[in-house]
Each structure stands twice: as structure tokens, then as C-alpha cells.
Amino acid sequence: MRHLLDTRTLSRDDALRILDVAEDMRDTQSREVKKLPTLRGKTVVNLFFEDSTRTRISFEAAAKRLSADVINFSAKGSSVSKGESLQDTAQTLQAMGADAVVIRHGASGAPHTLATSGWISAGVLNAGDGTHEHPTQALLDAFTIRKRFFGDDSRGRDLAGFHVAIVGDILHSRVARSNVWLLTTLGARVTLVAPPTLVPQDVSAWPVTISYDLDQAIASAPDAVMMLRIQLERMNAAYFPTEREYSRRWGLDAARMGSLPTASIVMHPGPMNRGLEISADAADSPRSTVLEQVANGVSVRMAALYLLLAGERPTTHPQEEAR
């Protein structure tokens, strides 16, 4: 794997390889010494043009646990705010010896441009581009579902037979898009649930079922309900009457959660708007995987960095190296 730009073009084999390597990484993270020497001497640059806390920190933790050097570059207060182009920024980082660039950008397609422009030779990881994709988020979500349902027996398994409902602001969500492609590649069935105003126009070309009714979707007994954040910062118009009305119709609360099958899980990529798309009791219930998603994110990003920077067929297994 040279780059990780999207899940739309990620094959089932590559997806399972990342998830399985992430299992190995997770095993190493329960040890007292969490650090592996695998990427010693490599430099990972976090290039963030959009605000982010958890994704940047997660990539930073992942790179450091593999012993890579990490340079955090956030566009605010940098030469980018003085008008420097993506090309100049990228070439500067390349000249400093970056082996991998983790990029988050407000423009859909920016990571793809970076990877294919010939400006840099580093591997590119998309950490969220506009409303397009957020591949490591979808991978950590798939990892979390697999782990909850199969536990230690997760390796090699896909999600055939699973039904996932993705609920809320689909229109602005790169998390929803990356999950639609990855979950269906792994064999799961996906239902998108949203008010009509928050469903993208091109959705008819996606391999999903659309529902405008959360209660109906819950009655169909999904294995996982993934609540999305209402992205108020990307909204320049009124997409729903009031927040209260939104919560009443499309929010997950204790009553709706109680109608789910006992084994079903509740997911959210964070950051949560508690009281809007998800109530506090739903977010904090034992069904909620919110904190597992955060923890698994580090393992999945370790796996992605490892596969990009250490090659597909390592001579030593990451777990063996740590011994």
C-alpha cells in the first residue's frame, strides 16, 4: 500500500489486512511498554488544515508508539495563512524528510491531489477531506464492530450478515461516506436514516437503503446504530426546524435505545453534541462504543502507518520485534 486515500477503492483484502494488523497492534497496546521500534528513523508529518483534536492526537500516538518522529503542522498561524499553497507546503515538508504525510483538509480531494501531483514522494494518509472521506475512521468503526461481536476471534472475519444504521447529518459527513463504502465492501447492509434535507443528492448511486424514520429503522433491529454529529459549522442554511425537533425525531435517547435488540451497539465518531443527536444516557450506556472507538483508532492508525511505511510483507512480525 502506497497511500490510504479513501475506502471507496479499498479492496476487501486490503481492508481485512489493515484490520488484522490492527488486531496485532492492539495486543501490543495492553503491554506495560507500548512502544515498538518498527518505524524508528521514519518521519510522520501531521498536516492539519482543519481543526481536529482526537484524530490528530490519535495519529500522533500511533506514530509515536511505532517509534517514528512526529512533526505536527497546523495551518493556523503558519505560512498557509499568509497564502502559501498546498504545493509549497508539501514540498517544504518533503525537503525536511517526511516519509508519510497525514493530511486533513477542508477541500474534498486535497489528499488525492497531494498523492498524485508528484510534489512529494511520501505516503499520504487521508485524515478527513471536506465532506468526501475519512478512511481511518471507517476502519476503526469496522474494527470496533468486529471486536464487539467476535472478540478475540475477530481476525480474518468480514461483516457479512451485519446491518448498520447510520443516522443524522449524512449530507456533510465524510464519516458516513467512508463507512458506506467500507461496510458494504465487508459484506454488511447499510441503512441511512436522516431528514430529507440532510440526505445527499447522489445517494441513489450508493449501495444503501434510505429511511426518513428513525423508529422504523430501529424496529428493523440493526446490529449497530451509528449516530453522526450535526455539523453546524458546515451549515449555511436551516436544514431542520429547531434542535428540539431534530432530537425528537432523529436523536437517540434511552427510549429508542431500549427498543434495540439486546446485543446491538451504539456508535458515534465524536465529537458528540450531547442532547442533540444523542442523549447523555445513550452516550454513556454499556452499549455505547464511543470510547472503544477512540482506543481502537490508535491501533488502526498504527496498522495503516505500519503498512504504508514498513511494507506489505514484513520480515519480522510487529509483535515479535517487541519481544
275 binds ligand NCD (CB under 6 A): no
Q: Which phi-psi region, left, alpha or beta, contains residue 292 (left: φ > 0; alpha: ψ -120 to 50)?
A: alpha
Residue 312 CB, shortest distance to ligand NCD, in Å, is 26
Q: Which of 106, 200, 270, 314 binds ligand NCD (CB under 6 A)?
A: 270
Distance in Å, CB of 134 to ligand NCD, minimum: 5
Q: What does the buried/exposed string (b/e) look like for 267-282 if buried means 16 or more CB atoms within 10 Å of the residue's CB?
A: bbbbebbeebbbbeeb
User: Is 174 a binder of ligand NCD (CB under 6 A)?
Assistant: yes
Give the other-Cβ count within 10 Å of 312's Cβ. 10
Pattern 19-58, ligand NCD, x by CB under 6 A: -----------------------------------xx---
Nearer to ligand NCD, 214 or 267 (CB): 267
x/- track of binding to ligand NCD for residues 192-231 (CB under 6 A): -------------------------------------x-x
For the chain, give the longest Cα–Cα distance. Answer: 58
Per CB under 6 A, 268 contacts ligand NCD: no
Judge contact between 68 and 43, C-beta under 8 A: yes
Instruction: Return the DSSP state at 263.
Output: T
- Out of 59, 269, 276, 301, the only residue in the binding site for ligand NCD (CB under 6 A) is 269
Q: Is the dihedral of CA 112, 116, 117, 121 positive or negative?
A: positive
Hey, is 285 helix, strand or coil?
coil
Report whether 303 contacts 21 (CB < 8 A): yes
Span 133-152, contacts to ligand NCD by CB under 6 A = 134, 137
List residues binding ligand NCD (CB under 6 A).
Answer: 54-55, 128, 134, 137, 174-175, 229, 231, 269-270
